[in-house]
Amino acid sequence: MFHFHLPGRTLPVGTEFRAEPGMPIALSVHWSRSHNLCFYFLSRPAKEKIDSDPKPDMVWPCASPLTYSAVTHCSCYLAFACEDGTITVWEKSIGFPLSVTVLPDGYVIRSIQFMPCLPSLCEKAPGSSEVLASTKVKLLVLCTDGSLHMITSGAKEFDTKQLGPETPNQTITAIATISSLPDTVLLFFWDGTVILMDTTTEDYISQFIMPPSYKVATSWQPVFSVDTQGQYLLLQGVKQQTETIFIFDFTTYPFMEAFALKAEDQPESLAVAVLPWDKRCNIFLKDSLQRLSTISQQMPECWSLLKNCAKSLAKGESQEVVEEEESRDAEEP
């Protein structure tokens, strides 16, 4: 599994590399049963001899083999899941993990994908630490048993909840997000039903139905696609031995008006600017100082907890020593 990445503080390309706005600078790759997430820069200084087996420029080791990964469209956030059920969301703009969670026992991850981020927040992220503090990202996790979980991660918020029905005949087989419809997800069920759900209220907004006598081809693994603009759904249907591609135009549905009004209420987006390395360093140091002040405020409480823990341990050890001496005295003739 691989992803392209835009410039960020987790990818130190150096001063000799000129990054163009909107152009990826690196590629992340992980293989089956691999513990490492490898990054390769797409541009590097010319060498006299080309390596037949190029080594990764960066390696992120993990305690458990990686299974799935996902990157937001703006390349500001990276998430990866491991075999032990651990899911980590990284905020690449500052180079720190945003959240780490573990699914309960019995859940096996099938796929992960981000909900579409607001363009204004993603575009402000490279140069504004104040916006980063209020930014929230949502990650959808589909498990092999058909259960769907949504992880909401933020600087001051973290939440995990299960979405969708829990009845066996309504098992979810696939999901898809729509860039033009924030907070919604397309659900494909085992019985061939296709429904658009609002993740904030968990209400069903609309159902997409094929003509009579047609059904979704291979409902356990449906063939579908959503365009990058979030306006059309292409879904493969089958009738006897005939396969047909059906196109659903979202712009013709009434619910699009409500989401258009919701988009107008968002702040205007800013142009993405690729900052030079010195300004990136200044922003990184500023964010580090802000985090340091927060940690300094938490230090007294942490020291108090450590002292209480040390006292309890010392008390327990002294009690054990006394019991050992008493037993030893009792054994001596």
Secondary structure of 184-205 in the HEC alphabet? EEEEEECCCCEEEEECCCCEEE
Beta bridge partners of 162: 149
pLDDT level of residue 256 (50, 70, 90 thresholds): confident
How far apart are the C-alpha atoms of 253 and 120, rounded to whole Å?
26
Cα angle 4-5-10, degrees, rounded to a multiple of 5: 145
Q: Is 166 helix (H, G, I), strand (E, B) or coil?
A: coil
C-alpha separations of 47 from 44, 164, 178 in Å: 9, 54, 43
Residue 275 burial (C-beta neighbours within 10 Å; 0-12, 13-18, 19+): middle
pLDDT, tens digit, 9 for 90 and up, residues 209-248: 999 889 998 888 899 999 988 889 999 999 988 899 999 9
Q: What is the pLDDT of residue 112?
A: 94
Q: Tell me if 195 sits within 8 A of 206, measured CB to CB.
A: yes
| DSSP symbol at 57 | S
**What does pTM read for this prediction?**
0.70
- Whether 26 shows a pLDDT value over 60: the answer reads yes
Closest listed residue to residue 208, CA positions, set 183, 241, 242, 184: 184
pLDDT level of residue 155 (50, 70, 90 thresholds): low
Closest listed residue to residue 215, CA positions, set 192, 188, 233: 192
Tokens of residue 143, six digits: 């498990």
Tokens of residue 199, six digits: 């993740």
Q: Tell me if 225 sits within 8 A of 234, measured CB to CB.
A: yes
Q: Is 48 helix (H, G, I), strand (E, B) or coil?
A: coil
How far apart are the C-alpha atoms of 331 and 12, rounded to whole Å?
67
DSSP assignment of 12-58 equals ---TT--PPTT---EEEE--TT--EEEEEES-----SS--SSPPPSE
* φ, ψ (nearest 5 deg) of residue 200: -75, -35
Q: What is the pLDDT of residue 36?
A: 92
- Whether 55 shows a pLDDT value over 80: the answer reads yes
In sequence order, which residues have a C-beta less than 8 Å from that of residue 239 and are 6 or more positions away?
A: 213, 214, 215
pLDDT level of residue 270 (50, 70, 90 thresholds): very low
3-state helix, strand, coil in the chain (%, to 5): 25, 35, 40
pLDDT, tens digit, 9 for 90 and up, residues 305-328: 788 878 877 777 666 655 666 666
Tokens of residue 35, six digits: 């513990």
How far apart are the C-alpha atoms of 186 and 49, rounded to whole Å?
49
How high does pLDDT run on average in the chain? 78
Q: Tell me if 125 sits within 8 A of 132, measured CB to CB.
A: yes
Beta bridge partners of 225: 234
* Residue appearing with tokens 């919604």: 184
